Amino acid sequence: MGEQNPHTVSRDYRIDRRRFMATASAVTGFGLVGSSSARSGPTSAVTQDENDGPEAPSLDVVDEEWLSDRLVEYTFDNPLVDPPLDQTNTRVFVPSGYHESEETYPTLYLFHGGNGSAADWTTIDSGPGPLQSYFDADIVVVMPDGNDGWHSDWYNDGAFGAPKWETFHVHQLVPFIEDEFRVESNRRSRIAAGFSMGAAGSLTLGARRPDLYAGVYALSGSPYLLEYAKEVVESGDWGPAMETRLGAWGDPREQETRWKGHNAQYITENLQHTRVHVAAGNSGPAEPLAYEFGIELVERLEATNVEHDFYVNHDRGHSYEWAHQDIERLQDDFLEVFQRDPIDPSGFNYRSIEPSFDVWDWQVNRPALTRETAEFLDLENVTADGFTVTGRDKIEFVTPGFYEPQGRFAITADGNVSSVSPGVVTADDEGRLSFTVRAGPPARPNGDVPEESAVGDRKTVEISIMRR
């Protein structure tokens, strides 16, 4: 664990979560209990399946206003996040001299806390803030709306549809920024950071898309919510703020795997090539819970051998005053990440609950799973020579373009071809291989599949790829 500060981290410090609920309700920025933002609309939505994922439509700009020579606000009409927002804003803060130079810059995606908006970082003037008062690094800072959406495409009790915050932040906003601004369009030039709900979002987006962000910075975050959410729902002591979590991922007692798949603590192994920084304290009504969550996250990072820093200040409260201090002190850290050489992800590990996903240019599809089914698939030590997969039923793979075009390659599973087809594959013109692995019995047609109940059904298969 990093030693960036002299403050002691105490793993013996644990709070009474039920007692906490009574005090945290007044701290809506933490986004756990209490009233939701007035900007939140209804949580039901029309299903928009055709707008999922990387094929999401381009953003429709209805207004662009430069608030200063360095700060611009965009307004979008975006059906993917309507409801809850009729229109969605994103603010962008450019470096000094941006308009006069021809230089290209790295990008920081900076997420607000619960009940917040795209304007928060540039209008809340506590501590050294607002952002434009102190931020002088040569970095383009992108601050999007996130409402109370937890940076997720919502489950909506199985109806899915809007809001699709992950799709907006990943598949729409990143391409928009890289088209509109002189920024580098590669992984090592993107990082994500956030306060409170935004901290959880930066961690989760970073873990779900480790090939997109080189660093994630969680400031007073709440990455571990599952057991706490179960307690809140069981107690009945919850209001509109918890409804946003139920909308995003369902009832935690019935959709445990879906919650885990959108919670960085359960997918920390995905962050093995990512700079991870966690900051927390234990002062005031809400920050002690962020501190406890931080400790639990760090324990999981250590268990999965992910390098990280845990920056603790015991006087720290849950407010933008401290978050602004974090961003100010981390500017050199951001720049150091951007100066690193591109990483070689060979040997990466990755786990996901999605029926289909791509990561590090590997494409994976589980055709028997529907989006109603949440079940983990685990990939380990993925290289051009093979990998280990743990899952069930048919799993379709398309590799990156590692191989000689039109070359023939043997694919074996545990030393034989009985669990893989075809057994010999010809690389396409881009050097990609396509094959299917059979791992265990058929998948369940729908519903949540807890890891504990799937132990006997999921099969671990070792895949080898060799030139013929």
Map the chain to HEC letters.
CECCCCCCCCCCCCCCHHHHHHHHCCCHHHCCCCCCCCCCCCCCCCCCHHHCHHHCCCCEEEEEEECCCCEEEEEEECHHHCCCCCCEEEEEECCCCCCCCCCCECEEEEECCCCCCCCHHHHCCCCCCCHHHCCCCCCEEEEECCCCCCCCECCHHHCCCCCEHHHHHHHHHHHHHHHHCCECCCHHHEEEEEECHHHHHHHHHHHHCCCCCCEEEEECCCCCCHHHHHHHHHHCCCCHHHHHHHHHHCCCCCCHHHHHHCCHHHHHHHHCCCEEEEEECCCCCCHHHHHHHHHHHHHHHHHCCCCCEEEECCCCCCCHHHHHHHHHHCHHHHHHHHCCCCCCCCCEEEEECCCEEEECCEEEECCCCCCCEECCEEEEEEECCEEEEEECEEEEEECCCCCCCCCEEEEEECCECCCEECCEEECCCCCCCEEEEEECCCCCCCEECCHHHHCCCCEEEEEEEEEC
Residue 439: predicted pLDDT: 87
Residues 83 and 45 in one domain: yes
Output the CA angle 233-234-237, nearest 5 degrees.
60
Q: Does 163 sit behind a cis peptide bond, omega within 30 degrees of 0 on the bond before it? A: yes
- Last-in-domain residue among 309, 338, 367: 338
Contact 124, 132 (CB under 8 A): no
Which CATH number characterizes residue 373's domain?
Answer: 2.60.220
Residues 354 and 331 in one domain: no
Residue 22: predicted pLDDT: 37
Which CATH number characterizes residue 286's domain?
Answer: 3.40.50.1820
Residues 329 and 449 in one domain: no
Contact 207, 356 (CB under 8 A): no
Residues 325 and 373 in one domain: no
26 inside domain: yes
Q: How many domains does the chain have?
A: 2
6 inside domain: no
Contact 258, 249 (CB under 8 A): yes
Residue 21 domain boundaries: 17-338
153: which strand partners?
164
Q: Average pLDDT for residues 206-223, to the nearest whole number? A: 94
Answer yes or no: is pLDDT of 456 > 70: no
What φ, ψ does residue 153 adopt, rounded to 5°?
Answer: -85, 120
Residue bearing the bigger pLDDT, 87 or 32 = 87
Q: What is the mean pLDDT of the chain?
A: 87
Residues 362 and 267 in one domain: no
Residues 372 and 264 in one domain: no
Residues 322 and 369 in one domain: no
pLDDT bin (cut points 50, 70, 90) of residue 323 is: very high
What would the two tokens of residue 118 be? Answer: 């795209």
pLDDT bin (cut points 50, 70, 90) of residue 419 is: confident
Residues 331 and 352 in one domain: no
Q: Average pLDDT for residues 285-301, to the nearest whole number? A: 91
CA distance 415 to 392: 18
Residue bearing the bigger pLDDT, 106 or 458 = 106
pTM for the model stands at 0.89
Q: Average pLDDT for residues 308-334, to the nearest whole number? A: 96
Contacts of 444 (CB under 8 A, 6+ apart): 373, 375
Residues 358 and 319 in one domain: no
Residue 34: predicted pLDDT: 33
Query: 20-29, 265-274, 299-308, 438-447 — which is least confidently predicted?
Result: 20-29
- Last-in-domain residue among 307, 338, 369: 338
pLDDT in tens, 350-385: 999 999 999 999 999 999 888 888 999 999 999 999
Residues 280 and 396 in one domain: no
Query: 1-10, 42-51, 213-222, 373-382 — which is least confidently predicted?
Result: 42-51
